[in-house]
């Protein structure tokens, strides 16, 4: 009986974390096109089980829905399922945010859950 409720609870947590998901699934061709176009891009290395990632999703959803941050194209890399992509970005930890401007990486942070700090990082790409 305990396992049933535990699994039910885990399913509930997963559904909550998915509801706050920010960005589209990472696709290399789309990423390359966005960089070529010079658009501001945020790559979020995310794991559904990561509490820091979930905390980032909450304030990123708010930030990225309003000007000037709504100009960002957001791509989400699944830390567990897209290992090749994670390695290509030379990332070792989930909850890593990487910002690109005019086709080049300008800054990254890992485990940052301070909304103002992340907003400052994003502003550098606008």
Backbone phi and psi for residue 35, each to the nearest 5 degrees, phi listed first: -65, -40
User: Is 15 a residue whose pLDDT tops 50?
Assistant: no
Global pTM value:
0.82
Position 21 scores a pLDDT of 63
DSSP string, 21-89: --SEEP-HHHHHHHHHHT--EEEEEE-TT-HHHHHHHHHHHHHHTSTTGGG-EEEEEETTT-HHHHHHT
User: Is 10 a residue whose pLDDT tops 60?
Assistant: no
Domain with residue 59: its CATH number is: 3.40.30.10
User: Is 4 a residue whose pLDDT tops 90?
Assistant: no
Taking residues 100-122, report their average pLDDT: 96
Structural domain count of the chain = 1
Q: What is the pLDDT of residues 74-106, one digit of tens each?
A: 999 999 999 999 999 999 999 999 999 999 999
Local confidence band at 72 (pLDDT 50, 70, 90 cut-offs): very high
User: Is 57 a residue whose pLDDT tops 50?
Assistant: yes
> Which residues have C-beta within 8 Å of that of residue 78, sequence separation ≥ 6?
25, 26, 46, 47
Range of the structural domain that residue 62 is part of:
2-123
């Amino acid at each position: 009986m305990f396992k049933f409720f535990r699994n039910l609870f885990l399913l509930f947590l997963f559904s909550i974390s998915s509801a706050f998901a920010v960005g589209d699934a990472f696709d290399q061709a789309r990423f390359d096109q966005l960089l070529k176009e010079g658009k501001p891009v945020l790559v979020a290395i995310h794991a559904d089980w990561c509490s820091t990632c979930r905390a980032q999703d909450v304030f990123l959803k708010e930030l990225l829905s309003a000007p000037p941050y709504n100009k960002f194209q957001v791509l989400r890399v699944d830390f567990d399922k897209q290992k090749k992509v994670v390695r290509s970005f030379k990332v070792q930890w989930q909850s890593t945010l990487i910002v690109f401007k005019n086709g080049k990486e300008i800054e990254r942070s890992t485990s940052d859950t301070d909304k103002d700090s992340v907003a400052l990082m994003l502003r550098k790409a606008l």
